[in-house]
Chains A and B, each alone.
Chain A
């Protein structure tokens, strides 16, 4: 056990170094693409878009100085990385408010929408995928595969638009935009009901676009495992299909499932850009899109950083769990 534990520590330590290096290089890439490329290669000055043209040169300089845009690129980069890691995300070019407080305004909405969508997608996708694989070769299985492939060919925003057209405009069952009615209802029960009514269409969009792929992933995962020799052995031993699934197959598919769950998790925070934009959801994803089109880089970089950092952290946790349950990984 002690040997195994030492192996685990060493493995996780090495992993941590790798992951942190990737975060740093991803940040560098983002900085290069968002700050160096437009300004130094294409000659687009982000401050041009938010500075009032009537200001004098001195006033402009002052504002640029406030945002730290007058410093050299290298020092901007160092400051940017350091401040991100200390939790200071700077100020939005447009609203002049701290990025963090603006983020906090939108975060609950995004967590609500994406959290519900992710959890439901995983549960329904798992169930559908497992049913499909246990009934492999039947009509049910074929229809799951067919509809998953069909849905995967739909652009996500188009699914949203169609739902919007049918349920928002023709049938008028759901509101066509927004997160809550204006003014918000006072009664908490009605408030929640109103929020859910606004959430319905984006949620359905996320589920339609999410479940098919996930179910197909689960199905194929199980299917490749069922083709392995150990399954043949287990069956030859006389275990019934259920025992084969639970005792042997499930253990082996756990690692990739945990990995994919870890990749889903950061989306709960960073939101769904397309769906939130289509339905005018007051969330992080739409904010990110608006900020990107307005050259509001503090916001863009902060949200991207959160996403990268969360991805790395959740994958790291996934690595840890996998290493704990599967000794082969850490001994490799």
Chain B
């Protein structure tokens, strides 16, 4: 047993030393190893998940664009997270208590003999030095607790003050008269909200960010909490969580963002996984089918051969791509079904080649002598025929991969792939149908296609090198 392992290691070693002579094969192997590395370590290489939306504004430029003139002032992602100590108290009514409690800001009002309104005005100042952004949004987590007779209420408002002193009220909770917890699901406001645009006196087609942040300078974010308490016993408590305010940048990551604000670089990185998996699995399945059909057909001959080859020819004559499209429409949304489908339609040529090869071996002396001493078919197939086939199996395993990768990319490009799995074909589909072309976003369009091409190329080069090493019969006389 040890000697078999040793000879195998020797065979691999001699194969590798031969591969060293094939420069292009080595290149293919190197590129392939790089892709496998990227696929395995995708979660560590890509900064965010591939399906996370709203990471920056839609159609953001890659962040390295900021070194080019004309792009240096594009809005950056600004995310403010404001908790108790960040706020500056501008106004605090007497009798209103404002303290920090368990990472929340607590506002407490105890009612007295008369009904009163007590206010708390918080302010945060920040400097905005970029071009006007298109979009901003905010989250206001709060919790209201009214231990009181009917009639008390709390009202929370949020506004943005421009350097010129104009005040835009972007959020108004309206009076809240009962207990309400919005810590987990905070109240939000968003510059894309049409009712907000209308409320502030703009047209629904305006970008609110451009209108409000049209100046460079000191902006103020104000949070205004007013508590009306009726007379009597009791108290009103309001807790504020970490208030979030963000401006969506037009510069993001290595390759910018797509129409939903997803990171394109992460999509590119994660796309490696699907392509590699589809390519390799489909290749293994199709070579297996082709091998079984080819060996049985070639070895058995006669009626078995005719039936199997008739079926093979049927598939060969059937136009694969249109049929694949038509079937993918109803089963393609599942990645594994899609792989199986690709494999089921791509084994025929290999089966035919295998059959021809097996037929030539079947009639050779050593097979005939094995049969003469009464060896069973299974034994002859596994002992005498399959070892002869090993080189062409290896070569085909590699050579079938590019076709499967290209087919998967094509199906994804036609939007027939699994929508939950990031793939290069789908990136290109999105680029085509979400307006990347009209915006000249070449950094969105070019990388996925090149990624497909180089992966396919790596397999082709490796396959050619394998072919040259393992298949000396094809060394052509010149």
Return the contact of A308 from the options B317, B331, B442 (Cβ within 8 A). B317
Please count how many residues in chain A sit with their CB below 8 Å of the partner chain's CB atoms: 53
Q: CA of A249 to CA of B169 in the docked complex: distance in angstroms?
A: 85
Known: A158-B409, A295-B329. 4 other contacts (CB 8 A): A149-B461, A153-B454, A223-B478, A226-B478
Q: Residue on A with the closest CB to B431?
A: A161
How many B residues are at the interface, by size bracket? 35 or more
Could you tell me if B319 and A155 are in contact, using CB atoms closer than 8 angstroms? Answer: no
Which of B225-233, B246-254, B444-452 lies at the interface?
B444-452
Measured between beta carbons, the chain B residues less than 8 angstroms from A168 are 437
| Closest Cβ–Cβ distance, residue B259 to chain A (whole Å) | 17
Cβ-based interface call for B14 (8 A):
no
Could you tell me if B445 and A161 are in contact, using CB atoms closer than 8 angstroms? Answer: yes
Could you tell me if A300 and B322 are in contact, using CB atoms closer than 8 angstroms? Answer: yes
B residues at A contact (CB < 8 Å): 310-311, 313-315, 317-319, 321-323, 325-327, 329-331, 402, 406, 409-410, 413-414, 416, 425, 428, 431-432, 437-438, 440, 442, 445-446, 449, 452-454, 456-457, 460-461, 464, 476-478
Q: Which A residues from 152 to 192 make CB contacts under 8 A with B?
A: 152-158, 161-162, 164-165, 168-170, 176
Could you tell me if B453 and A154 are in contact, using CB atoms closer than 8 angstroms? Answer: yes
Could you tell me if B319 and A307 are in contact, using CB atoms closer than 8 angstroms? Answer: yes
Q: CA of A69 to CA of B310 in the docked complex: distance in angstroms?
A: 31
Q: CA of A164 to CA of B438 in the docked complex: distance in angstroms?
A: 11
Q: CA of A311 to CA of B317 in the docked complex: distance in angstroms?
A: 7
Q: CA of A42 to CA of B334 in the docked complex: distance in angstroms?
A: 13
Q: CA of A273 to CA of B323 in the docked complex: distance in angstroms?
A: 11
Could you tell me if B314 and A26 are in contact, using CB atoms closer than 8 angstroms? Answer: yes
Q: CA of A304 to CA of B453 in the docked complex: distance in angstroms?
A: 29
**Contacts A150-B457, A223-B476; A273 near B449 (Cβ below 8 A):** no
Cβ-based interface call for A292 (8 A):
yes
Q: CA of A155 to CA of B464 in the docked complex: distance in angstroms?
A: 19
Number of residue pairs A-B, CB distance < 8 angstroms: 138
Measured between beta carbons, the chain B residues less than 8 angstroms from A224 are 476
**Contacts A25-B314, A26-B318, A154-B453; A33 near B327 (Cβ below 8 A):** yes
Return the contact of B456 from the options A29, A137, A153, A273 (Cβ within 8 A). A153
Name 14 A/B residue pairs within 8 A (Cβ), A-sorted: A26-B317, A136-B478, A152-B460, A158-B409, A158-B453, A165-B445, A226-B478, A227-B478, A273-B322, A274-B321, A289-B325, A292-B329, A293-B325, A295-B330
**Contacts A44-B330, A161-B445, A300-B322; A227 near B456 (Cβ below 8 A):** no
Q: CA of A22 to CA of B326 in the docked complex: distance in angstroms?
A: 21
Could you tell me if A165 and B452 are in contact, using CB atoms closer than 8 angstroms? Answer: no
Measured between beta carbons, the chain A residues less than 8 angstroms from B478 are 136-137, 223, 226-227
Measured between beta carbons, the chain A residues less than 8 angstroms from B428 are 157-158, 161
Q: CA of A268 to CA of B329 in the docked complex: distance in angstroms?
A: 25
| Closest Cβ–Cβ distance, residue B286 to chain A (whole Å) | 17
Measured between beta carbons, the chain B residues less than 8 angstroms from A293 are 325, 329, 414, 416
Cβ-based interface call for A63 (8 A):
no
Cβ-based interface call for A38 (8 A):
yes
Could you tell me if B477 and A277 are in contact, using CB atoms closer than 8 angstroms? Answer: no
Cβ-based interface call for A37 (8 A):
yes
Q: Which A residues from 291 to 332 make CB contacts under 8 A with B?
A: 292-293, 295, 300, 303-304, 307-308, 311-312
Cβ-based interface call for A270 (8 A):
yes
Measured between beta carbons, the chain B residues less than 8 angstroms from A156 are 410
